[in-house]
Every structure is written in C-alpha cells, then in structure tokens.
Amino acid sequence: MALVDTKKMFQMAYKNGYAVGAFNVNNMEITQGIISAIAEEKAPLILQISRGAREYASMSYLRAIIDVAVEENPDIPIAMHLDHGDNFETCKQCVDDGFTSVMIDGSHHSFEENIKVTKQVVEYAHAHNVVVEAELGQLGGIEEDVVGVDDVAAHLTDPNQAVEFIERTGVDSLAVAIGTSHGAYKFKTEPKLAFDVIEKIQKLMPGFPLVMHGSSSVLKEFKDLINKYGGKMPDAMGVPEEAITRAAKMAICKVNIDTDLRMALTAKIRQVFAEKPGEFDPRKYLGPAREAIKAMVKHKLHVLNCAGRAAECL
C-alpha cells in the first residue's frame, strides 16, 4: 500500500489507549532495524525525517529507502513525517515532496506568531491532503538545531491556550510541553511529568490527539556499553518508560524516539570495534547495530502498547 497519514492511527490510538511510535531515520540501517521490528510486531509506524537527516542523507535517498519499506510491508500503515519544520517554506517543500504529515514548530515564537505560521502551514498542507502537527510550550535539551529552555517546568503548555491554539489554527495534532526534554542529557534525577496538563487538555478537547517529544529513555544498557567501550556519556536520565505507558493511555497518540536509536547504534558499533579492533568491514559493525535497533524498537512498541495494532489503523 502507499504511505498513509496519521488520522486513522491517532483515532484508533486515542480510542484504544496506546501511542504510535515516531522514529527518526537517518540512513538505511536505522530504517531497516525499525521496519524489521515493526513488521514482526505488526504495529503502525511513523518514520520521521529532520532537517539534519535531509542534509546528511539527501531526501531522494531517504525517500527511496522508505518507499522500499512501504512496498515490502503492505499490511503495515506507514506515515512519513517532517520533524521540527521551523518555517512555512520547509513545510511546503516537504508537502510537495510527498510527506504525509509535517510538523511546524513555532514554539519559539510568541503565541500570536505561532498561530500565524501554523495556520499558514495548515492551509497549504490541508489543500494537499497532508496533516499538520504543531507545538505549544517549550521543551528542554538540545536535538540537532532545536535548542530547548533550561527550566522546563516554567514553560509547560497552558491547557486553555492549547484550546485556543487548536481552534484558531485547525491543526491536526499538538506537541505539548509536559516536562520532557530533548537529547541524551535530559535529567539528573527522575523527571516528574505534568500529567495534569494532558488531563486538562483531554477534558477540554476530548478526542484531540496530543504528541510527546523528548521521549527517549536514555536506556542504561546502551549508556553502559558506550562508556565501557571508550565513550564518555555522563550519568543522565531519560523519560521513565512507565511514564510513557501512562501517557499513551491518555491523550498522547504519538511518541517521538530518536536518542535511544542513536545510543543503540553507537553502543554496538563501539563494542565491535573494541572486541575486534582489526574489523574494517562495515557490514560487520553496522549489522549488529541494526539488530540492536530492532530489539530496542520491539521493546518500545510494547511500552507504547501499539504492538499488534497495525490492522486497525489501515
């Protein structure tokens, strides 16, 4: 089947208490690892492409890889999503390039300016049957070109503003700031997420899908492997998986995961190089890295409770 948008996915996720995993892709091995896990677990999938990924791999190569994944898995609904589009022109280009979902991130603007640019993207995207995600409130941390705030608790999404924002822009989903943070170095202590923000928006806008960014868990097994084999990742905590599961049973219908993919890939490559210092065949270190990504994604699908949900999202 062809690429799909996220409308049906989010309807079913909201109704049945799960979230769809949105995984960032940068090359063939990462994509293959994700797809292998998805195919075995029969889960719906959102493949995200950031500006950094487009600059690194070229959109034509990434699109070709995704097209193969779609063709080889006709029973899996797959959406192609722009992650953190920072202006109208970027979102327009991705709509024109065949994305089925785009994110306009105007969270760094004033409330009124965020509404203005989001509405502009919505009008263009909807005219081309593409859905739009926006963001209100600000996260912490750093992810590629996205630099968050230092005090995440002071920049949470205001539920009443969220209602006004959704109604004035016509956006299809909203990324909310509930205390999460981008990147690998998120928190020194376990974060306490603002579930009350989700609950209030859910009460005010029943049925409307929310999105959770900065949701990697910075898994200890990969951090330990990286440090064991020459890395220097300081102690840091990600979002507890039980918190992600709880949010997925509420109004959170999409959960973004990027850092955990990078850590799985890096940990296995470091391990191979340390144990086999003479290895120079990319297949011998990228292969194990791909398998590590597959195993990690399979695990995440159960954290999100979306394993086995592919058929209902078609």
Stretch 283-303: mean pLDDT = 98
Q: CATH no. for residue 160?
A: 3.20.20.70
Cβ-count burial of 262 within 10 angstroms (0-12 exposed, 13-18 middle, 19+ buried)?
middle
Residue 188 confidence (pLDDT): 64
- Of 98-112, 156-170, 174-188, 205-219, least confident by mean pLDDT is 174-188
Annotated catalytic residue 83: yes
Q: Is residue 2 part of a domain?
A: no
- Of 86-95, 130-139, 159-168, least confident by mean pLDDT is 130-139
Stretch 179-183: mean pLDDT = 70
- Of 157-166, 214-223, 259-268, least confident by mean pLDDT is 214-223
Residue 185 confidence (pLDDT): 59
Q: Is residue 193 part of a domain?
A: yes
Is the pLDDT confidence value at 261 over 90?
yes
Is the pLDDT confidence value at 63 over 90?
yes
Q: Is residue 1 part of a domain?
A: no
Residue 150 confidence (pLDDT): 45
The CB-side HSE value for 145 (13 A sphere, CA atoms) comes to 13
Global pTM exceeds 0.75:
yes
The catalytic position among 67, 75, 83, 150 is 83
Domain encompassing residue 298: 7-313
Stretch 86-106: mean pLDDT = 96
Phi, psi (deg, nearest 5) at residue 143: -145, 110
C-alpha span between 70 and 273 (Å, rounded): 33
pLDDT above 90 coverage of the chain, percent: 82
pLDDT by residue (tens digit) across 37-53? 999 999 999 999 998 99
Complete edge-to-edge strand list for the sheet that includes strand 146-147: 146-147, 140-143, 181-182
Residue 142 confidence (pLDDT): 42
Instruction: pLDDT band for 149, please (50, 70, 90 cuts).
Output: very low
Residue 218 confidence (pLDDT): 87
Instruction: pLDDT band for 183, please (50, 70, 90 cuts).
Output: low
The total of other beta-carbon atoms located within 10 Å of residue 299's CB is: 17
Is the pLDDT confidence value at 158 over 60?
yes
Which value, to the nearest 10 degrees, does the dihedral of the CA atoms of residues 195, 176, 132, 110 take? 150
Q: Is residue 287 part of a domain?
A: yes
Q: Record the tokens describing residue 63, joined without a space.
A: 């699109």
C-alpha span between 176 and 148 (Å, rounded): 13
DSSP of 98-132, one letter per residue? T-SEEEE--TTS-HHHHHHHHHHHHHHHHHTT-EE
Domain count across the chain: 1
C-alpha span between 111 and 139 (Å, rounded): 15
Query: What would the 3-class secondary structure string for 209-274 be?
Result: CEEECCCCCCCHHHHHHHHHCCCCCCCCECCCHHHHHHHHCCCEEEEEECHHHHHHHHHHHHHHHH
Residue 26 confidence (pLDDT): 96
pLDDT above 70 coverage of the chain, percent: 92
Residue 141 confidence (pLDDT): 42
Q: Record the tokens describing residue 96, joined without a space.
A: 């024109």
**Cα separations (Å) of 16 from 104, 120, 197, 245, 252?**
27, 32, 20, 13, 11
Closest by CA position to 127, among listed 117, 136, 119, 137: 119
Instruction: Tally DSSP H helices, then E strands, for the chain.
Output: 12, 11
Residue 145 confidence (pLDDT): 53
